[in-house]
Amino acid sequence: MTTTTRPADLFRHGLRLLIDKDVSGWIDLWDEGGVLEFPFAPEGWPKRLEGRGAVADYMRHYPDHIDLHDFPDVEIHETGEPGTIVVEMRGVGKLVETDVPFDMRYIAVVKVAGGLITHYRDYWNPLAVLQGDAADFTRRDR
């Protein structure tokens, strides 16, 4: 568990953990009942993961597929709802298996309570990575 309670600080800490390939540490930022949603997920891909265990299962092989190097553009917007932020960001790196550059823009709506992520709605474009092992990572039927 983390002592960071401000949603923006918690989120930035989580990005650092992903760059460091500390998926276990990133999962520790989640509430036991946390929900991760992918509203734009195509058919056959997960649209909703319920519970820290489901999020951990989904993320466990992330570093084997996507080697994140940086999040060079991160804008965190506070909202009028306590504990809720909207994040615009860009993640860059490479696809591990193919060595193809990875450059993805995201918008996320993140809710935090008690210093942990309770809800994360990830608006990313899965069509941008329908190649190589990134597609294998994001598909539920892998």
User: Looking at residue 102, which CATH number applies to its domain?
Assistant: 3.10.450.50
Identify the pLDDT of residue 130: 58
Q: What is the mean pLDDT of the chain?
A: 88
Report the distance separating Cα 40 and Cα 100, nearest Å: 23
pLDDT of 75 above 60: yes
Instruction: Residue 114: give the domain boundaries.
Output: 7-138
21 is a domain residue: yes
- Residue 2 falls within a domain, yes or no? no
What is the Rg, in whole angstroms, of the alpha carbon atoms belonging to the chain? 14
- Of all residues in the chain, the percent with pLDDT exceeding 90 is 71
Compute the distance between CA of residue 127 and CA of residue 129 in angstroms, rounded to an integer.
Answer: 5
Over residues 82-121, the pLDDT tens digits come to: 999 999 999 999 989 999 898 999 999 999 999 999 999 9
Alpha helices in 82-142 (DSSP H): 132-138
| Number of separate domains in the chain | 1
Residue 100 belongs to some domain of the structure: yes
User: Has residue 16 been placed in a domain?
Assistant: yes
| Residue in the structure block whose two tokens are 């650092």 | 16
Whether 46 has a pLDDT exceeding 50, the answer reads yes
* Residue 44 maps to a domain: yes
Q: Is residue 96 part of a domain?
A: yes
Numbers of helices and strands, H then E, in the chain: 5, 6
**Which pLDDT value is given to residue 43?**
80
Residues 42-56 have a mean pLDDT of: 93
pLDDT at 3 over 60: no
The answer to whether residue 73 is domain-embedded is yes
- Please give the average per-residue pLDDT across 50-73, as a whole number: 95
pTM of the entire structure? 0.85
- For residue 1, is it within any domain? no
What confidence score (pLDDT) does residue 126 get? Answer: 76
